[in-house]
Structure 1
Amino acid sequence: MPARLVAVNVVHELIRGPTRWTAIDKRPVSGLVAVDELGLTGDRQCDTRYHGGPDKALYAYAEEDAAWWSTELDRDITPGLFGENLTTRGLDITNALIGERWRIGGPKTGILVEVRSPRTPCGNLAARMGIPKFHHRFVATGRVGAYLKVLSAGSVRAGNRIVVDYRPDHGRTIGAVSGRA
């Protein structure tokens, strides 16, 4: 079965985190969403020192990793709960290679993205989850998702196919680079 986008998530509302405002409250939207070099139309990042910009334009998280967390925490993990823009299915993001490229959507309107780095969460994730220091536990698993650079702008929607166009041969995965043992 080909990899697919389960959900496209944008900020629902800004909330006050433990130390600053955050746009972590991402929720699924329907229909086609435009994507440019800085991310999804209708989305936002609050602290641009650490979030957003060309190398962190999008944040992708695998539904399979969310299901693992759901079992681990005995609670529902809905698309966007971890603050991701793109919730995927059938794509092993933890073992994605830095520099890997994905084509998402159709050949004329879809996007091309490059895996740039693992997510480095802060206390806002712990606050969102209601679990003290959860962000440390999150990182320790290596199931952190990936920040993506947009190489070719276009638009995406839930249900779009994801094709891995290129995989470098260096072996540095998101999980390994994130600090997972």
Structure 2
Amino acid sequence: MKLLSVNLGRPRAVPYTDQAEGVTGIDKRPVEGPVRVAAPGPKGVGGSGLAGDAVCELRHHGGDDQAVYAFAREDLDDWERELGRPLSNGFFGENLTTGGLDVSGALIGERWRIGAAVVLEVTSGRIPCRTFQGHMAERGWVRRFTRKAVTGAYLRVIEPGEIRAGDAVEIVRRPDHGVTAATQFRAVTTERELLPSLLAAGDALHGETLARVHKYLADQAR
């Protein structure tokens, strides 16, 4: 298991984002050299966990529970075959493009050591948005991505440090529940009946997901 590339975004003006300034950092590109990784702060204030990576819409992106986004090269390859077009590392907006790692099948609370120092913890899958739809320029993209439920994973920073392409990725903690990033995604999108089962992941859950679970349970109790 290894880190194939570290990808950073720069603000770019586009016609398809909800951001008031009309800019997005979704089109991330691989960079050379080490990149500093650290917890960015709470959502709405903190952006990306990677130094030099632009997060232009702080209402929905960035923050400690979404500090880093990872996607597997194997899943990009699968989409390449389905879409009939090349997809470069970083094109899905991922900060980390990995090889040999089941990212969407990673468990909530699973921890990865990348390189010598950095430790990240899986918090949730990625919810597709209008900006992702516009960036892909594929008809019905949000629906297709949601149906496939191969989401990649958001991660929080447990131990900061520097990473670079080629670093080894080691799973240093794997919880004994069965709640994966893909399960969390399905629960908050198409299969809301799965929401109570997410509680097995405990405090490792993305804070917004935990709030959704409690709201669902309260609604069911009425």
- Does 1:51 pair with 2:84? no
Aligned match for 1:148, one of 155, 162, 184: 155
The 5 Å alignment of 1:73-152 reads 73-106=83-116, 110-152=117-159
TM-score by length of 2: 0.76
> In 2, Cα distance between the equivalents of 1:133 and 1:12?
26
Higher helix proportion: 2
Of stretches 14-23 and 39-48 in structure 1, the one that deviates more from structure 2 is: 14-23
> In 1, Cα distance between the equivalents of 2:83 and 2:127?
20
Letter in 1 for 2:35: V
> In 1, Cα distance between the equivalents of 2:118 and 2:17?
35
Of stretches 79-88 and 14-23 in structure 1, the one that deviates more from structure 2 is: 14-23
Q: Which runs of 5+ in 2 are unaligned?
A: 41-48, 192-222
Q: Tell me the residue number matched to 1:71.
A: 81
Larger relative contact order (CA 8 Å, sep ≥ 6): 1
Aligned match for 1:11, one of 9, 33, 36: 9
**Could you tell me how far 1:114 is from its partner in structure 2?**
0.2
Which structure has the larger Rg over C-alpha atoms?
2
Letter in 2 for 1:19: D
SS of the residue 2:178 aligns to: coil
SS of the residue 2:177 aligns to: coil
Contact kept in structure 1, 2:17 and 2:131, CA below 8 Å: yes
**Could you tell me how far 1:134 is from its partner in structure 2?**
0.6
- Does 1:168 pair with 2:167? no
Contact kept in structure 2, 1:15 and 1:25, CA below 8 Å: no
1:79-129 deviations in whole A, cap 9, x for unaligned? Answer: 0100000000000011100110000002xxx20000001001101111111
Higher strand proportion: 1
Aligned length: 176
Aligned match for 1:25, one of 14, 24, 27: 27
Off by >2 Å, runs of 4+ in structure 1: 12-21
**Could you tell me how far 1:49 is from its partner in structure 2?**
1.4
> In 2, Cα distance between the equivalents of 1:27 and 1:161?
20
TM-score by length of 1: 0.93
**Could you tell me how far 1:152 is from its partner in structure 2?**
0.5
RMSD between aligned residues: 1.3
Aligned match for 1:41, one of 45, 48, 51: 51
Letter in 2 for 1:83: G
SS of the residue 1:103 aligns to: strand
SS of the residue 1:49 aligns to: coil
> In 2, Cα distance between the equivalents of 1:50 and 1:18?
12
**Could you tell me how far 1:22 is from its partner in structure 2?**
1.7
SS of the residue 1:40 aligns to: coil
Q: Tell me the residue number matched to 2:70.
A: 60
